Structure 1
Amino acid sequence: MTAPHLRLAQDPHDRLAVHRKDDAWLAERWADESSRVLVVSGTRVQPVDGRIEWVAPSEAPEGLRVLLGEREGRAWFAVVTGPEEAKGDASWLPLRGLLPSLSDDNVTVAPLVLHALGLAEWHFATRFCPRCGGRLEATAAGHELVCTQCGKAQFPRTDPAVIMVVTSGEPGAEDERCLLGRQAVWPPGRYSTLAGFCEPGETLEDAVRREVAEETGVAVGEVSYFSSQPWPLPASLMVGFVARATSTEITVDEVEIEDARWFTRAEMREQAESGQLVLPGGVSISRSLIEHWYGGTLPGQW
């Protein structure tokens, strides 16, 4: 079974990092009308009839040109303009609003869109040099910012976050259970895998153990890598794990987690079918982790 979240990472583009500072090459590919450009206003994109629209370079507005790379024998760019164009216009959507489109007809361009919006978010949030407060200037086709005052270079940052399905019992046994939790702000019935950010000086495996213990009071022993998913909301990499619990008593923190429950496969299927349990969407690694443990597809989603 193909993990659902991998649909957003299929057919990745060649990022062509070697050409990011090659002005002659960049100018030549920009002059080629077969090149494609995604227009980003601030951190938002305006789909047309539910589809991501790519335009020719001659149709693109002025803005920061970002080289995304090459795919299908053509160059792909993004032009990042100020947020003014999208202000007050509900047709311009942030990445979360684009996910339904990316999971359907536009899934083949999803890696390009994730790349473009990840960089747009970085440019939007990184305005001044963290060393001296000087003005930053974009270079390397949008992949580097250099301080005009002290010369310090800044590069896009990605925050590692762990996300895990926690299991208890003999693997594959009828009474094996998995642990899901919910936040108080979520609609009734919505549950998901636990997740959290890795702290400085911490391994990813220890981050899994710490987050599960902090949020639910459950102790975790063995931690096995599952898969990863870029998640630029605004700048994360979700690293998925399967964790084996060494205790089962739940004590939620009542801060990040309102409730947490153990589910057998039979309980999960029955409650998902009735709508009592609402699971994460199919493009999320959380869904993939749950269905990996369950052993098949499940009905319903956010």
Structure 2
Amino acid sequence: MPRRWTGTSHVGGATYSGRVSRADETLLDLALSRATVDRSARERADDATVARALADPTTRVLVVRDGRTRLLGGDRAALDLRPPCPGDADRTPWFLGRHDDVAYLAVDETEASDGSSTGGPRDGSVGWVSLREVGADLDDTEAGLLTTATALHGWHRTHRHCPRCGTVTEVVQGGWVRRCPADGSEHHPRTDPAIIVAVVDDDDRLLLATGASWPEGRISVLAGFVEAGESMEAAVVREVHEEVGLDVADLVFRGDQPWPFPASLMLAFRARALTTDLVPDPTEIRSAAWYARGELADLVRAGARTLPSRVSIARVLIEEWFGGPLPEPSPQGIR
């Protein structure tokens, strides 16, 4: 049965009642939602799992440094996954899971002066890249590995102390838990849900906006965090009203994608605007406008508008509305 929701936004009293999605609806193909590796929660709960994986030459290790990893050269994007090396154990590896009987670990060498302690680059390595740069080009297994490693890296770098007492925590369960040695509390990687929505009016124009801190010409669909005690549908209604003063209806859930920059889960929707007069909140939005397909294509081609990267769910929502890939900027149009 279609999921239905009725609620009132926290701003302006906008009311929405209607379907969220159909059970037979095909969701978006999202670059960072792909994964084939079994996270093996039971296995990572075993304190000996990481040591066994390090002793197994078939194990593959993903090295991260400052949120980046090494990429191999070749016809397609591929991660520089290597066997375990001496020194890996000193870096407190994270157990990413297992696929086709191969264990995958990640090690953080951000504070290393060079890569020698964790094996250094293999022949054919073409340097350090981020998930934003290559996530859309990796295969399903490697996209899932790098997404998970990026999320864990961000969490471990910023959550080293117990939030209850301030004691430095210990990494346990293969990197998936930090335990306080003082009070015994356990802390898990956080994920912050955020909605992102393609708002279309009755003339089938798409609403795109420029964030207050963005460079001129960069545009995207609206997005915002789900607040405490709030459903994701209510967050869509509230965020659209807060950011541009619109009421929306006919919410359709289109898919979700992890966005570990540093710790979000993006929940994608389409929605229909009940009004079209835009009143941007200047603290959030520099400018906002309605775009017809031909107009948007011309502006992108001329370099007058810059879209989100292909790895983002925002780009997929925009191109779903557009009906296919948008043109790349012409050489003459690139600013």
TM range (shorter): 0.7 to 0.9
Contact 1:34–1:74 (Cα < 8 Å) also in 2:
yes
2:45 partner letter: K
Distance 1:258 1:25, change over 3 A: closer
**Which residue in 2 is equivalent to 1:178?**
206
Measure how far apart 1:279 and its partner are: 1.7
Measure how far apart 1:11 and its partner are: 4.0
Measure how far apart 1:105 and its partner are: 4.9
Distance 1:295 1:4, change over 3 A: same
**Which residue in 2 is equivalent to 1:172?**
none
* TM-score normalised by L of structure 2: 0.79
**Which residue in 2 is equivalent to 1:69?**
97
Indicate whether 1:167 and 2:200 are aligned. Answer: yes
Distance 1:74 1:274, change over 3 A: same
Give matches, 1:133-152, under 5 Å. 133-152=166-185
Measure how far apart 1:229 and its partner are: 0.8
* TM-score normalised by L of structure 1: 0.87
Distance 1:51 1:23, change over 3 A: same
**Which residue in 2 is equivalent to 1:109?**
142
Distance 1:256 1:85, change over 3 A: farther
Measure how far apart 1:184 and its partner are: 4.1
Indicate whether 1:250 and 2:278 are aligned. Answer: yes
2-side partners of 1:83 and 1:162: how far apart?
34
Secondary structure of residue in 1 paired with 2:219: coil
Contact 2:194–2:225 (Cα < 8 Å) also in 1:
yes
Q: Deviations over 1:139-182 (max 9, x none)?
A: 1101011110011110111000111100110xxxxx31110001
Secondary structure of residue in 1 paired with 2:235: helix
Give matches, 1:41-52, under 5 Å. 41=65, 43-47=67-71, 52=79
2-side partners of 1:110 and 1:59: how far apart?
26
Secondary structure of residue in 2 paired with 1:195: strand
Contact 1:3–1:292 (Cα < 8 Å) also in 2:
no
**Which residue in 2 is equivalent to 1:213?**
241
Indicate whether 1:53 and 2:80 are aligned. Answer: yes
**Which residue in 2 is equivalent to 1:223?**
251
Measure how far apart 1:13 and its partner are: 1.1
Contact 2:195–2:236 (Cα < 8 Å) also in 1:
yes
Contact 1:227–1:240 (Cα < 8 Å) also in 2:
yes
Q: Deviations over 1:61-114 (max 9, x none)?
A: 33011100112431110112453548xxxx655xxx442233225664011011
Contact 2:131–2:147 (Cα < 8 Å) also in 1:
no
Secondary structure of residue in 2 paired with 1:79: strand
1-side partners of 2:28 and 2:83: how far apart?
32
Q: Deviations over 1:21-51 (max 9, x none)?
A: 2234443332111110012235443445585
Secondary structure of residue in 1 paired with 2:311: coil
Indicate whether 1:12 and 2:12 are aligned. Answer: no
**Which residue in 1 is equivalent to 2:296?**
268
2-side partners of 1:63 and 1:43: how far apart?
15
CA RMSD of aligned residues (A): 2.5
1-side partners of 2:311 and 2:196: how far apart?
14
Contact 1:43–1:124 (Cα < 8 Å) also in 2:
no
More displaced stretch, 261-270 vs 194-203: 261-270
**Which residue in 2 is equivalent to 1:296?**
324
1-side partners of 2:300 and 2:133: how far apart?
20
Equivalent of 1:30 in 54, 58, 78? 54
Contact 1:7–1:283 (Cα < 8 Å) also in 2:
yes
Q: Which has the higher helix share?
A: 1
Structure 2, unmatched stretches of 5+, are 1-25, 115-126
Indicate whether 1:119 and 2:146 are aligned. Answer: no
Secondary structure of residue in 2 paired with 1:19: helix
2:241 partner letter: A
Measure how far apart 1:123 and its partner are: 0.9
Contact 1:8–1:110 (Cα < 8 Å) also in 2:
yes
2:172 partner letter: T
Measure how far apart 1:269 and its partner are: 2.6
Equivalent of 2:163 in 117, 130, 154? 130
Contact 2:131–2:146 (Cα < 8 Å) also in 1:
no
Secondary structure of residue in 1 paired with 2:93: strand
2-side partners of 1:3 and 1:297: how far apart?
17
